[in-house]
A and B are shown apart, each in its own frame.
Chain A
């Protein structure tokens, strides 16, 4: 029995939760979630087994009529990512989704299985039809999951916005498939590889594919649905959407670029790289301004997808310069970062869910001091926050380091001043993004978990149940493990991209990269060993020589007791950046006086800050205004009068007759 095919069946069984009797709601939930845990475990197992031993026939090669499922190394990587992330998020959801008891939990769990099933099916699709069908199921199921809390007006708005945007993306992908398929023997991927599309039509196919997949992965300016949809969904769904679904777009784009369209045109890679870099920087800037925990994470997803696509674009540029052995580093970087992002973003959305569960709010301005109420969650979140700021000893830096190395590789090859300027731009953007991401997560963690409670909702916070902690713990462990011993991950990813072209990258103690005449080593194990030694040394001296007594006393506050309102707020914390990048962010401050007895005292006022999204304001709103204006202009010819319609028919007939005569 094929393990992967089996896992798809288990998902289907899990999906039956939807039609279980309502009385057995909790049992249904457990049964369904356990199916998801088992099935994603099986998926991860067969994916990883395939990657380690490609000869073993663990993956599928099956077809039913015009539908077929096959697997190769490229899909194997993403199947493994889906399996691993699905596994720990499903464990987490065993307890987390219990919060939806009595709120259509059966639908939630059943759709969860379908969601995982459709993602896996997209990755295994062997022809355009299967791909599009699975892709659409994935879009619909995720729409239903985002819309789960349909009582909330914002949720419904976010869900429908997601629906519209994702269908625009599907339309673009359909066009790309049509163009490719009509220039090859059939719509199966094996045949589409040998398409004879060229010239302007090939450019159009590339642009459509890029637009469609960029939309799904939330690159700017097509990102506007993402910061709304991800926070609206239940947290385990957000974790899967951010951690895995965005990577599915990378999978699709990679398949198009590697197999169907090719990379010999310079501006293909250039476009991908620039869009990625700009998205990364702008997204992290917007994320730093947010106070909604899940919106911060959603923007951070855009940022990380931006970095992944930038590295991917860098690889495409190197390919167009006929430097395949060097492009391998860039593609490896993109995939390692994709893998590590699926772990760390899964982890962070799970902890956002845990925090929401504990305090009942997503607004970090109301939190504070959570580390004392929920120490385990706080510990796991710290690891996630460190990973997303690309700190050493987490998987975050592995991806980031490889991305930086791939851009250095490009720089070494950049002979012309134009290319040099491009590389300089890339490094400025990556530097800004890296530092701002650090600020973003220091702010998130510091405001939510440290300091004193900022409102009374924190008082009732409590540590989370076992399975939620277990799910987060597995993710945190993987983040650290992949960060300290990166070689296996890096080598697997590299062998998938490169095959015979490979340049040595994994070493005994970390990643060693020596190509294009430049040389680099990153050995986290050694650095960690040194750090631990040093830590023990400091502790020993500390205990040995100091009197080692600690006193607790209130902070000096100019003679008054400090209150929790005197702490820095999240909005205040991001103020310097808001001001420095004010020309991009364009913050709108609104002050309302509720009471104003006197100029200097007795005032009561309300202040709020609004940061309009640049693209919504400058791109989407004008288009929307134009569309509404033009449709109201057209309304005059469709006013519902029957005689007018008969007139139109007659005019049309006359026109057709004249046409026929000509």
Chain B
């Protein structure tokens, strides 16, 4: 009983740490992009200010909405938080809840409610965003499953905290390198970044994640944004801890990844929606090779 509570406490502390730094990470990515575009850009703390602003505003609801519309952001944020509790991060020790498949399905719970809410406001844009989100998730899911499979083959567990890269062993293998590249592609797709989705645009025809959140305002919008930023943080932590075969501290890895994402976003355009098939196909093939090479 004692070790369960201890592990659970670790889970919660870790999630709080990730939560505290998640907006900073988003701010850093924006800053990198701005500097590369030769702009001054907003402060790296801008996301914190935005959250505070939204938190103080009233909620405006469309008259057609139901309780699902209010429930969805809370569930979405909650799933991001639970996911953050599950990843092996800065704290050493066995986490109590840390199963990889549960991690995937916890995130799916958030997607389930966000896609539902997209249809609740009875507008065309919401449904469009929801439909595309589902489409992308269908393409991403096999890659995620294979990414879990490869680490589970290597470390004989499906517990995320048991899959952390083992620096003592021979960790820099062909298989690890391939999985690393593939998982980076997965991160971009899963977190709605370029070239799959454009997080900056509010142009109806191109947006996916933003389309679903179009009708939200005030604290509910703040929860969704915080949830998304936390999810990004969670995925980068996971990437650093599980897939990036470099022996530097995790915080440095995450920072490098943030810069890399900024660079990738500057260098790429958003691809056509139906080209995402090819993109995710590439990730799946890389993972396939990685598993064969393992």
Contacts and interface: CB of A to CB of B under 8 A. Distances in A.
Interface in B85-113: 85, 96-99, 101-102, 105-106, 108-109, 111-112
A193 to B, nearest CB: 36
Given A442-B130, A542-B219, A424 B149 contact: yes
Interface stretch (B25-33, B54-62, B191-199): B54-62
Interface string A252-265: 00000000000000
B128 to A, nearest CB: 6
A546 B81 contact: no
Interface stretch (A34-42, A464-472, A573-581): A573-581
Interface stretch (A16-24, A397-405, A630-638, A647-655): A397-405
Interface in B1-38: 4, 8, 11-12
A567 B121 CA distance: 9
A545 interface: yes
Contacts of A509: 4
A446 B112 contact: no
B242 interface: no
Interface residues of B, number: 80
Contacts of A535: 74, 78
| Residue with the greatest number of chain A CB neighbours at <10 A, chosen from B62, B145, B291 | B145
B219 A546 contact: yes
Nearest to B144: A431
Nearest to B119: A446
A446 B116 CA distance: 5
Given A439-B138, A576-B131, A580-B139, A551 B58 contact: yes
A517 B162 CA distance: 13
B241 interface: no
A577 B162 contact: no
Q: Is the interface of A mostly helix, strand, loop or mixed?
A: helix
B153 A411 contact: yes
B127 A573 contact: yes
Interface in B205-238: 215, 218-219, 223
Interface stretch (B63-71, B176-184, B251-259, B260-268): B63-71
A262 to B, nearest CB: 30
Given A404-B101, A551-B59, A412 B115 contact: no
Contact of A438 (B62, B112, B156, B273): B112
A314 to B, nearest CB: 14
Contact of B108 (A391, A574, A575): A391
A630 B219 CA distance: 71
Interface in A352-378: 368-369, 371-372
B96 A523 contact: yes
A389 B108 contact: yes
A328 to B, nearest CB: 17
Interface in A577-619: 577, 579-580
A47 interface: no
A419 to B, nearest CB: 11
A546 B127 contact: no
A435 interface: yes
Contacts of B245: none
Contacts of A546: 55-56, 218-219
A622 B219 CA distance: 60
B277 A580 contact: yes
B78 A538 contact: yes
Given A519-B157, A542-B219, A442 B115 contact: yes
A411 B55 contact: no
A452 B11 CA distance: 41
Contacts of A452: 64, 122
Contact of A411 (B135, B142, B152): B152
A420 to B, nearest CB: 6
Interface stretch (A82-90, A91-99, A234-242, A554-562): A554-562
A522 B102 contact: yes
Interface string A501-541: 00000000100000011111111001100110011001000
A391 B156 contact: no
Interface string B131-159: 11011011111111110010011001111
A391 B122 contact: no
A416 to B, nearest CB: 11
A641 interface: no
B34 to A, nearest CB: 29
Contacts of B139: 580
A475 interface: no
B219 A523 contact: no
Given A546-B219, A568-B119, A518 B127 contact: no
A141 interface: no
A451 B122 CA distance: 4
A77 to B, nearest CB: 24
| Residue with the greatest number of chain A CB neighbours at <10 A, chosen from B74, B119, B146 | B119
A11 to B, nearest CB: 39
B119 A450 contact: yes
A45 interface: no
B99 A522 contact: yes
Contact of A432 (B67, B138, B149): B138
B162 A438 contact: no
A442 B66 contact: no
Given A411-B152, A520-B158, 15 more contacts: A427-B142, A427-B146, A442-B134, A450-B68, A451-B119, A516-B156, A527-B102, A527-B106, A530-B11, A538-B74, A551-B61, A553-B63, A567-B123, A575-B131, A580-B138
Interface of A: 368-369, 371-372, 382, 386, 389-392, 397, 400-401, 404-405, 408, 411-412, 417, 420-421, 423-424, 427-432, 434-436, 438-439, 442-443, 445-447, 450-452, 509, 516-523, 526-527, 530-531, 534-535, 538, 542, 545-547, 549-555, 557, 562, 564, 566-568, 572-577, 579-580
Q: Which 5 pairs from chain A and chain B are nearest by CB?
A: A568-B127, A446-B119, A576-B135, A431-B142, A435-B141
